[in-house]
Chains A and B, each alone.
Chain A
């Protein structure tokens, strides 16, 4: 007989960690998938140079001179073509403006189209300068291309938020429902295992992976796209921790009654898909009508995404993030509370 009593919390947490690491698919979805997604979207939406202005010049005696004058501007693409072709291209939008050489030179364009109006300005400017116009006021240009305002800078915090939500909910919901449907929860119930330790072990195991899961995406985004973390790392850590706890609670709530894995999968999607769409993961939640903004702002993922974005991109402090963190916390506390009330062990 022995009196050794290895701590149940430690063993339960080890169980969760082992079960996760021994499931290669789960490891892929949690660690590799977000990085791949960030890479694909980062490449697809990479900021390109300004769109070129396409101009048609009618073939004729003055055409070469005009073409030369326009070609001085690198953003202009010139084609010298005949009248019928020019008409056709203007109608279908393949050129924004048609220049008819002569005296005076005629500019033909559709003034209701923005790119045509831009083309008129560019062409006018080029031709006037070629004709010897002198500018009277001195202007200086300052071109900006700022890190922090690109699409990838918007995307990475959203992906982090989405990943924290997904792994929190799946990690806990799935494991709990699997244990319930396999009657393992009932077997635990027959032992003196502490119920709160069982639930807490899921959260602890989550935290073990959270650092890796968030760290890998952050590191990747910095190395490949130079996405910055402008606020303090400590602030970011706290925001991420809070988010992970809150979504663990939501996951537990969703899983508190389901008896089958299929059932809980449906519920999970019901909860998560609207937040993927509305909470500003891939595009700004400001795109939705004003009437629904209060609802969208109250969603936990919206608040978490905005808080992560605030710390990473705007360099906000925790104090500035308090209202957002409050929303996340309320969701966590409420869902935990309700989940514990509803939870079924069998």
Chain B
């Protein structure tokens, strides 16, 4: 066997670069995924998540940089790695006219070891559909089938590219459960998502990716803590006239101010002190509030604080 210890990272990338003609899809990206954790690549559309996860899986050769998976490299250990990883790619069209069971059996046949097809079907909750043709499945069922095909080889590491995009909340929770069960048996998961809620709930650690670079990496709660405050207050004034930033910063409990055209965002440690003070300020200035919301800080807020942009254009 290899001189791989349990402490060797499951994935280690250094300085990944991938260019497509004019576009730099990945631009000097570093990540490290530990054994047994669920690691999320979080970023907006076009950030380079798919390119990165496909480079890690040895499907796209990087222009620069190095990749180690389970302490092995694609150049030397491709055969072994292919046996040990399971994957679900963004937008794979599985054979339309095979049944669910036939599809899984097909994928099972590629591997030396694995789980019986019916067992995986039960795991993703598709038993009743095992005789149905793939082209008769709903979007969520197809997605679960794709995950089943990834699990059928009983992998050590599982790669999922936007596994829950387009699913209803119920299907999403089901998938989270499947992923957590896999992790509970010691598996490592690398997934991409642009749902920060998913990243916060599911991932032990995340890398926030923007323009092909990791701009932050760590456990979700730690990243949120870097906001310097747990709460976020958004407000807008009639006419959109901004208040002076220095005045806002001087309010009790306010640690940060960010203004874009119409809205102002405050990061706040003690909302019970900051809110009344803000109200007074607005009244003294003779302005009128048209909007006021407050929520606990999220990874989305971290992204906004770091880039000035939203993760998703909603």
Q: Interface residues, chain A, CB within 8 Å of chain B? A: 1-8, 10-12, 14-15, 18-19, 22-23, 182-184, 186-193, 346
Contacts and interface: CB of A to CB of B under 8 A. Distances in A.
B95 interface: yes
A192 B110 contact: yes
Given A2-B114, A15-B95, A19-B95, A190 B82 contact: yes
Interface string B105-119: 111111111111000
B97 A182 contact: no
Give chain B's interface secondary structure class. loop
Contact of B93 (A6, A12, A23, A182): A182
Given A191-B82, A192-B111, A4 B116 contact: yes
Nearest to A20: B97
Interface in B68-102: 79, 82-83, 85, 87, 89, 91-98, 102
Contacts of A193: 110
A2 B114 CA distance: 6
B156 interface: no
B92 A1 contact: no
A196 to B, nearest CB: 13
A70 B91 CA distance: 82
10 contacts: A2-B114, A5-B112, A11-B109, A12-B106, A15-B102, A183-B92, A186-B59, A191-B107, A191-B153, A193-B110
Nearest to B94: A184
Contact of A15 (B83, B91, B98): B98
Contacts of B91: 183
A102 B126 CA distance: 99
A184 B92 contact: yes
A19 B94 CA distance: 12
Contacts, number: 82
B92 A3 contact: no
B52 interface: no
Given A1-B115, A5-B112, A190-B85, A19 B105 contact: no
B105 A11 contact: yes
B92 A19 contact: no
Contacts of B102: 14-15, 18
Contacts of B210: none
B57 interface: yes
A191 B103 CA distance: 14
Contacts of A22: 97, 133
B162 interface: no
Contacts of A346: 59
Contact of B97 (A10, A19, A191): A19
B30 interface: no
Given A12-B106, A183-B89, A192-B82, A19 B111 contact: no
Contact of A191 (B95, B111, B116): B111
Nearest to A182: B93
B109 A7 contact: yes
A22 B98 CA distance: 9
A197 B49 CA distance: 32
| Across the A-B interface, the 4 shortest Cβ-Cβ residue pairs | A182-B93, A192-B82, A11-B109, A22-B97
B83 A192 contact: yes
Given A6-B105, A19-B98, A187 B89 contact: yes
Contacts of B32: none
Residue from A7, A10, A18, A192 with most neighbouring chain B CB atoms (10 Å): A192
Nearest to B153: A191
Given A6-B108, A15-B95, 13 more contacts: A5-B113, A6-B105, A6-B109, A11-B105, A11-B106, A11-B109, A15-B102, A182-B92, A183-B92, A184-B92, A190-B58, A191-B111, A192-B83
Contact of B89 (A19, A186, A192): A186
A193 B115 CA distance: 17
B37 interface: no
B95 A184 contact: yes
Contact of A186 (B79, B92, B149): B92
Nearest to A22: B97
Contact of A192 (B79, B96, B115, B133): B79
A18 B98 contact: yes
Residue from A8, A12, A186, A187 with most neighbouring chain B CB atoms (10 Å): A187
A97 B106 CA distance: 77
Nearest to A187: B92
Contacts of A182: 92-93
A8 B114 CA distance: 13
Nearest to B99: A18
B59 A190 contact: yes
B301 interface: no
Residue from B83, B107, B110, B114 with most neighbouring chain A CB atoms (10 Å): B110
A260 B82 CA distance: 27
A3 B83 contact: no
B116 A2 contact: yes
A179 to B, nearest CB: 8
B154 interface: yes
Interface string B152-171: 01100000000000000000
A10 B115 contact: no
A191 B110 contact: yes
B117 to A, nearest CB: 9
Nearest to A3: B113
